[in-house]
Amino acid sequence: MPFITVGEENADTVDLYYEDHGSGRPVVLIHGWPLNGASWEKQEAALLAAGHRVITYDRRGFGASDKPASGYDYDTFAADLHAVLSRLDLRDVILVGFSMGTGEVVRYLGGYGSERISGAVMLGVVPPFPARTDAHPDGLVGSALREVRGAVRADRPAFVAGFLADFYGVDVLGGERVSDQVVQYSWDIGVAASAEAPLVRAPARLTDFRADLARIDVPVLVVHGDADRTLPLSSTAVPLCRSVADARLVVLRGAPHGLIWTHADEVNEELLAFVAARRPECEALDHHLVEC
């Protein structure tokens, strides 16, 4: 299996598993928590059919990548992404992040710039700033963060199961847009991840990306569901879009957080149009475009 070394822990290397398929403009897909690179199967198939080169990789601590005890912060994640882009010498790249992966996209562009990047797509976004403040009343509070850490420590498999139920909106979309088997598959992947990753991920959820957003100088497409219970639209995608000079927000009606599966056709339509044009489409079909 192909691996890229991104660091060291004690006497061994930290290696990321990646897959590189197709040819044409490179599109790098960065997965969300608690999944891995295989979660992009619907997007990868569409991109390959459209003639693009598709690179996926498992974040440290997830999938087939190494599972060190440290490095679960966005500075390290961005450095890992930089190692992938550099090792494969990728240029004219479209970065695509989902959920936690949107933090990597934003932190990478804020810290490493856009020399290798021609555009970015962010799906089910985390930035700009998930924490609750007087100026940001919809964010997370400290007690919620403590509850997450406590639930993970008490029964991580049960926590992942509950998370995925909201992630896919199973009570509304189960049996229609997402099967029991998909939810089970996601749970299998989630519980196989490093036990340390969700514990250190909790503080990372409060990362402030606002300075990074101000440095983004490539076109950005933001796609978010208006039924997202994990990362509500009003406190994530809307302010993110307003913070980037060249950004468009597409809101998918009825889409939960796990929209890359439940609303894959709609996501792929927007993704393929953006990759083809290097900038977001100005009109949508069954969903609506929000001018920021």
| Catalytic option among 66, 80, 212, 228 | 228
* Rg, the chain, Cα only: 18
Name the residue with tokens 């056709």.
265
Q: Is 253 left (phi over 0), alpha (psi -120 to 50) or beta?
A: beta
72 Cα distance to chain centroid: 15
Look up residue 58 and give its two tokens: 């498992």
CA–CA separation, 15 and 286 (whole Å): 42
Tell me the helices (H) and strands (E) count for the chain, helix number first. Answer: 12, 9
| Catalytic option among 39, 65, 99, 235 | 99
288 is catalytic: no
CA–CA separation, 51 and 29 (whole Å): 16
| Catalytic option among 52, 257, 263, 287 | 257
Sheet of strand 247-252: strand arrangement: 3-9, 12-21, 53-57, 26-30, 93-98, 117-123, 220-225, 247-252, 288-290
CA–CA separation, 108 and 65 (whole Å): 20
73 is catalytic: no
Phi, psi torsion values for 235, nearest 5 degrees: -105, 5
CA–CA separation, 17 and 126 (whole Å): 24
CA–CA separation, 29 and 291 (whole Å): 25
Look up residue 114 and give its two tokens: 């856009």
User: CA quadruple 123, 187, 37, 111: dihedral positive or negative?
Assistant: positive
Beta bridge partners of 140: 131
Which one-letter amino acid corresponds to residue 237?
Answer: A
99 is catalytic: yes
Name the residue with tokens 């490095």.
71
- Which residues are marked as active site? 99, 228, 257
